[in-house]
Amino acid sequence: MLSHDQWIAFTILVLSVASLIIGNSVVLFANRVSRNQFIRSIFAFTFLFILSIFLWALSIQFFASSFFGQHKPIADVFLLVGASFTPFIFGFLILLPHVGYYLYALLRVWVTINLVLNVMSAYHFRLWQAVLVTLLGWLLLEFISSLSFLRLDDVKRWFLKITTGKGEYKDPDDLVFEYVKMQRKLAVEAAGATEEEGGHD
Amino acid sequence: MIDLAITTALAVAGLLAFLLILMALLSPLEALSWWAGWSGHAPNPAELSREALAEVESQQRNGRPQKKARYFLVYLTAIGGVSADEISYREQVFLEKLQEALPEATIISDVFPFSVTNNPLTGERLFGWLWRTIHERRKTITGGMLASFIFARNLFNVAVSADPRYGPINNSGVAREISKSLYRNHYPLEGGVPIVTMGWSGGGQIAVGVAPFLDLGMEAPVYVISIGGVLTDDPGIAFVKHLWHLQGHKDKFPMIGDILFPGRWSVARHSAWNKFKQAGKMTVIDPGPMIHTGKGDYFDPKTALSNGQPHVEKTVEIIAEAVRSIPSTPPSVDIEKPLAQYDKEQKPHPDIDI
């Protein structure tokens, strides 16, 4: 079980991730979710993001133990990895037009540095060891998620479908251009109709 | 006493900063909630052609003679505007003189560039009452200070238009309103007639931002005239056939775009902006010692150049000459190339997935 302090750390992690998801919510608006779906999506994506942090913590624990013989309980590793993500508490500021984009890049750099430093201090690693363990953990996750036979995308879609009612989220630019092209197609058809009417007259 | 004054000043500054950040944070919501259908019906692609068709039919029924314009000019006001219907007297004079100089053109100015639904700030909106109050008191000293909030609100909207995440949604909405107005003014449904978007100050960015959506949505060649425009690195420029940028040598505001937008820096050689410039599609014109806004600006009918020509007439002369240089037969529309450049320039959307 988590201690009181660990619960506080976990709560901060949840709030930070939720703030990040809100900051990046343009995808939700672009995909025309309802207000209700919007709120459910924030929860669902927050859950998925925290799950990914947990998996990253697992892989860091695995590499730290395999390569350097250092073992720590998963709850501790998870919270130390999670603590690195606290700068995302400012994630809602990503909504700011123009600056938001650069702020997001800055927050990601901050989180990465945080993570390496936290791994260093928790495991008493040198810098290169912390970087190696963190990087390998990330690569392992990327590798696993690219294994198509695991059908993780399908699982994710299924999860989103049952939690938010929408399994597929398209790219906002594609949606806008599809809309404008459809608008044009209908205008061309309308132009044809007026020409035909003119012909009949 | 001094401590109290300092504390009060800091509190006021803090409150102002908080309000500005809040305004900036909320600024994309108008476009996003419109697109998502939260503020009414989600935009329907059939609506535009339906309205255009109804307009054509009503014109045919009434037997109103249709002016066959060679060009359609769309004027987009600056960030001080609250509504397309309430542009300044100087702008009105400018538009009248421009119409006299270009009788073969149809000029429209009824689109408020800082709203996706052409809804004036003083119109029906949540804080409409506040904007109306500020606008009414604009001429007083306190009202003048409060009017800064109008500038800030519209400036944030310019930033929304230029932001790769929000720009396509925002600009497609404004383009839709421009399209509606063009169809109301007899723009042919089959397209092809040149559209010139003309933006003053922040309106310059909107003029470029809407280009892809007018090009694709109306099959029209789009030209842009920027009057002291604060131009960003919007990849929509790839869709513009030619851009004329008027910048008086006393007007430093357009330099904001040079500094704040990396795609405009000369090191970004492959940006849409720099490729556009390299292709010779941009003409920068110095009309004289004009300032950005106020007495001595581009539309001032009272201030004259050293040769005695009023500023507004010089501006009209330059624009009329630029418009007349547009070929009547539009250049062939090759959509794929600018679309590819646009896609390349659009920064990937932050992924909220794992």
Q: Is the dihedral of CA A145, A147, A153, A155 positive or negative?
A: negative
Contact state of B176 with A98 under an 8 Å Cβ cutoff: no
Q: A-chain residues within 8 Å CB-CB of B212?
A: 180
From B185, B79, B81, select the one nearest B177 (Cα to Cα).
B185
Q: Which residue of B has its CA nearest to A103?
A: B350
Asked if pLDDT for residue B323 goes beyond 50, the answer is: yes
Q: B-chain residues within 8 Å CB-CB of A190?
A: 49-50, 52-53, 189
In this structure, are residues B70 and B193 in contact, taking their beta carbons and an 8 Å threshold? Answer: yes
Out of B50-59, B250-259, B345-354, least confident range: B345-354
Q: What is the mean pLDDT of residues A64-81?
A: 93
* pLDDT on residue B309: 96
Q: Which pair of tokens denotes residue B15?
A: 């409150």
What mean pLDDT is reported for chain B? 89
Contact state of A176 with B189 under an 8 Å Cβ cutoff: no
Out of A50-64, A116-130, B257-271, B335-349, least confident range: B335-349
Contact state of A156 with B24 under an 8 Å Cβ cutoff: no
Q: How would DSSP label each residue in A22-57?
A: HHTTHHHHHTT--HHHHHHHHHHHHHHHHHHHHHHH
Asked if pLDDT for residue B353 goes beyond 60, the answer is: no
Q: B-chain residues within 8 Å CB-CB of A29?
A: 32-33, 35-36, 169
Amino acid found at A43: F
Which of A32, A182, A189 has the CB atom closest to B36's CB atom? Answer: A32
Q: Could you tell me the pLDDT band of residue B350, with boundaries at 50, 70 and 90? A: very low
- Tell me, yes or no, if A181 comes closer than 8 A to chain B by beta carbon: yes
Q: What is the mean pLDDT of residues A70-85?
A: 93
Q: Is the dihedral of CA A170, A172, A174, A175 positive or negative?
A: positive
Shortest alpha-carbon distance between residue B132 and chain A (Å): 25
Contact state of B168 with A177 under an 8 Å Cβ cutoff: yes
For B205-236, the pLDDT digits (tens) are 999 999 999 999 999 999 999 999 999 999 99
* pLDDT on residue B339: 66
Q: Which residue of B has its CA nearest to A193?
A: B53
Contact state of A48 with B354 under an 8 Å Cβ cutoff: yes
Contact state of B49 with A187 under an 8 Å Cβ cutoff: yes
* pLDDT on residue A39: 95
- Tell me, yes or no, if A102 comes closer than 8 A to chain B by beta carbon: no
Domain locations along chain A: 4-169, 170-201
Domain locations along chain B: 69-325
Asked if pLDDT for residue B112 goes beyond 80, the answer is: yes
Contact state of A104 with B350 under an 8 Å Cβ cutoff: yes
Contact state of B35 with A32 under an 8 Å Cβ cutoff: yes
Q: What is the mean pLDDT of residues A113-134?
A: 95
Q: Which residue of B has its CA nearest to A32?
A: B36
Out of A75-79, A194-198, B113-117, B181-185, least confident range: A194-198
* pLDDT on residue A196: 66
The CATH number of the structural domain formed by B69-325 is: 3.40.50.1820
Q: Pick from A16, A19, A22, A26 the residue to mutate for testing the B interface (most B CBs within 10 Å).
A: A26
- Tell me, yes or no, if A127 comes closer than 8 A to chain B by beta carbon: no
Q: B-chain residues within 8 Å CB-CB of A104?
A: 350
Q: How would DSSP label each residue in B208-220?
A: HHTHHHHHHHH--
What mean pLDDT is reported for chain A? 91
Q: Which residue of B has its CA nearest to A98?
A: B163
Contact state of A156 with B33 under an 8 Å Cβ cutoff: no
The percentage of residues in chain A with a pLDDT greater than 70, rounded to a whole number, is 96
From B7, B352, B21, B89, select the one nearest A88 (Cα to Cα).
B352
Contact state of B163 with A49 under an 8 Å Cβ cutoff: no
Contact state of B53 with A98 under an 8 Å Cβ cutoff: no
Asked if pLDDT for residue B349 goes beyond 60, the answer is: no
Q: How would DSSP label each residue in B22-78?
A: HHHHHTTHHHHHHHHTTTSSPP-HHHHHHHHHHHHHHHHHHTPPPP--SEEEEEE--
**Chains A, B: CB contacts under 8 A, how many?**
140
